[in-house]
C-alpha cells in the first residue's frame, strides 16, 4: 500500500524556493486563523494523540496540511498550535485542560466558526448532536484574532504572512439548523452572507488596521463536491450552493479595494479540479482514503497511515468526507503559492 511518507518533488522545490527567495517579501512568520483545514494540532491531546492523531488529514510523517507546506515555501518556522485542549465526555477519551502555547501562531481550530463560539462537536451541541461529546474547543476566528493581538502586544509586526480560511463550519451548523427545523433555508443563506461580511470586517478592522500588511484570504470551496456533499439530495445540494455563494459574495464585497489582501478563489480552483481531476494528479475525488470504520471515531482527526483503505491512496483528494489528504492539501498550498508569486508576494 502506498502511503504518504514522502513530500515529493513539489515539496523539494518549495524548500529551495524558501531558501533562495522568489523576489517577494521576506516574511518573519506565518500567522494563521481558521478551522480544521488549517488546524495543526489543537486536539492532539489525550487519546487522540495516543493513537497518532491530531490533524484533519492522514496523520503521520507525511501528513502535513497546506499551512505547513506554505511555511516551508516561505522559509519560516513550522506552524504549531497556539492553543490545545479538549472538553470530551467520551469514555476512553479523557478531557484535557486548555493550554495556550507562547510563540505558536497557528490559531486555527477544528469546528471553529467566524463569530459564533459553538461549532460542530462542541460540547454545547450535545446531546442534540451525539458527536458533541467529543468537546472540541471551536474558538471562533474573531476570538483567534483577538488572542493573537493580546499575545503580540496589540499589533502585527507587518512582517508576517497572515492566512485566513474559514466558513465551512458555519455551513454545517446552518445546514443542521435547517434540518432540525430551527431555521428556514432562506435564513440559512442570509446567515452565511452575514458570516462572510463579518469576516471581511474582522480582516479590515482587526488585522489590517493593527499593522498586518500581507493577508491571504481563501474563500469557501464547493462543499457539494466533497464525499459528504455527494450523499445529499438535489434540494440540499442546491441549498449548500446558495449558502456558499452568499458567503463568498459578501466576503469578496467586504474586501473589495482593500490593500494588503490577496483573496484566493479556492471555490473556482476546486471546481477546476473536480472537472479535470487527472489534470491535477488526483486519482480519486469521491472516496475517503481513511477507513473510517477502523478509526477511533469516524474522522480524519484520528486517521493514520495504519488506518487507510486498501490500495494506493497517495493521490486521493479526501481523507474523510470533507477533509483533504496530504495530496489534497498540497494542491491548496501550490495554488496559494502560485497566487502569491503572481501578486509579487513570493
Contact 134, 85 (CB under 8 A): no
- The residue range of the domain holding 240 is 24-342
- Asked if the structure places residue 8 within a domain, the reply is no
**Closest C-alpha among 64, 340, 41 to residue 218:** 340
Per-residue three-class SS string for the chain: CCCCCCCHHHHHHHHHHHHHCCCCCCCCEEEEEECCCCCCCCCCCHHHHHCCCCCCCCECCCCCCHHHHHHHHHCCCCCCECEEEECCCCCCCCCEEEEECCCCCECCCCCCCCCCCCCCCCHHHCCCCHHHHHCCCCCCHHHHHHHHHHHCCCCCCCCEEEEEECCHHHHHHHHHHHHCCCCCHHHHHHHHHHHHHHHHHHHHHHHHHHCCCCEEEECCCCHHHCHHHHCCCHHHHHHHHHHHHHHHHHHHHHHCCCCCEEEECHHHHHHHHHHCHHHHCCCECCCCCECCCCCCCCCHHHCECCCECCCCCCCECECCCCCECHHHHHHHHHHHHHHHHHCCCC
Whole-angstrom CA distances from 59 to 46, 317, 331 are 16, 15, 17
**Closest C-alpha among 31, 13, 86 to residue 341:** 13
Task: Find the CATH number of the domain harbouring 57.
Answer: 3.40.50.1110
Instruction: Determine the pLDDT at residue 24.
Output: 85
- Asked if the structure places residue 10 within a domain, the reply is no
- Asked if the structure places residue 83 within a domain, the reply is yes
pTM: 0.94
- Asked if the structure places residue 18 within a domain, the reply is no
Instruction: Determine the pLDDT at residue 326.
Output: 98
**Closest C-alpha among 305, 304, 307, 313 to residue 293:** 307
- Asked if the structure places residue 122 within a domain, the reply is yes
Contact 169, 161 (CB under 8 A): no
- Asked if the structure places residue 94 within a domain, the reply is yes
Phi and psi (nearest 5°) for 165? -150, 110
Bridge partners for 30 per DSSP: 161
Nine-digit cell at 312? 494506493
**pLDDT tens profile 179-237:** 999 999 999 999 999 999 999 999 999 999 999 999 999 999 999 999 999 999 999 99
Upper half-sphere CA count for residue 115 (Cβ side, 13 Å): 13
Counted domains in the chain: 1
Positive or negative torsion for Cα 279, 281, 283, 284? negative
Upper half-sphere CA count for residue 96 (Cβ side, 13 Å): 18
**What value, to the nearest 5°, has the Cα angle with vertex 221 and ends 342 and 53?**
100
**What value, to the nearest 5°, has the Cα angle with vertex 230 and ends 288 and 128?**
85
d(CA 60, CA 199): 32
Instruction: Determine the pLDDT at residue 342.
Output: 98
Low-confidence ranges of the chain (pLDDT < 50): 1-3, 5-21
- Asked if the structure places residue 11 within a domain, the reply is no
Nine-digit cell at 278? 487527472
- Asked if the structure places residue 91 within a domain, the reply is yes
Amino acid at each position: 500500500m502506498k502511503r504518504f511518507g514522502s513530500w515529493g518533488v513539489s515539496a523539494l522545490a518549495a524548500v529551495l524556493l524558501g531558501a533562495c527567495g522568489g523576489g517577494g517579501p521576506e516574511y518573519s512568520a506565518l500567522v494563521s486563523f481558521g478551522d480544521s483545514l488549517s488546524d495543526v494540532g489543537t486536539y492532539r491531546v489525550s487519546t487522540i494523540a495516543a493513537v497518532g492523531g491530531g490533524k484533519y488529514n492522514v496523520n503521520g510523517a507525511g501528513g502535513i496540511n497546506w499551512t505547513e507546506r506554505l511555511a516551508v515555501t516561505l522559509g519560516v518556522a513550522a506552524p504549531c498550535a497556539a492553543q490545545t485542549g479538549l472538553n470530551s465526555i467520551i469514555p476512553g477519551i479523557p478531557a484535557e485542560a486548555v493550554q495556550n502555547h507562547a510563540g505558536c501562531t497557528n490559531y486555527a481550530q477544528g469546528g471553529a466558526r467566524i463569530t459564533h463560539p459553538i461549532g460542530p462537536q462542541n460540547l454545547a451541541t450535545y446531546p442534540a448532536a451525539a458527536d458533541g461529546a467529543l468537546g472540541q474547543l471551536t474558538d471562533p476566528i474573531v476570538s483567534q484574532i483577538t488572542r493573537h493581538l493580546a499575545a503580540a502586544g496589540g499589533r502585527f509586526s507587518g512582517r508576517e504572512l497572515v492566512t485566513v480560511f474559514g466558513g465551512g463550519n458555519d455551513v454545517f451548523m446552518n445546514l443542521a439548523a435547517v434540518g432540525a427545523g430551527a431555521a428556514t433555508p432562506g435564513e440559512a443563506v442570509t446567515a452565511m452572507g452575514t458570516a462572510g461580511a463579518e469576516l471581511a470586517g474582522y480582516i479590515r478592522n482587526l488585522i489590517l488596521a493593527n499593522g498586518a500588511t500581507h493577508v491571504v484570504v481563501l474563500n469557501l470551496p464547493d462543499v457539494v463536491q466533497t464525499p459528504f456533499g455527494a450523499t445529499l439530495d438535489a434540494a440540499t445540494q442546491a441549498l449548500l450552493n446558495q449558502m456558499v455563494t452568499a458567503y463568498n459574495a459578501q466576503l469578496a464585497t467586504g474586501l473589495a479595494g482593500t490593500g494588503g489582501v490577496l483573496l484566493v478563489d479556492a471555490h473556482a480552483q476546486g471546481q477546476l479540479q473536480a472537472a479535470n481531476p487527472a489534470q491535477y494528479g488526483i486519482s480519486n475525488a469521491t472516496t475517503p482514503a481513511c477507513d473510517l470504520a477502523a478509526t477511533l471515531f469516524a474522522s480524519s482527526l484520528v486517521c493514520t497511515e495504519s488506518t487507510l483503505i486498501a490500495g494506493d491512496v497517495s493521490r486521493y483528494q479526501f481523507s474523510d468526507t470533507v477533509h483533504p489528504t496530504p495530496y489534497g492539501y498540497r494542491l491548496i498550498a501550490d495554488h496559494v503559492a502560485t497566487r502569491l508569486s503572481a501578486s509579487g508576494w513570493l
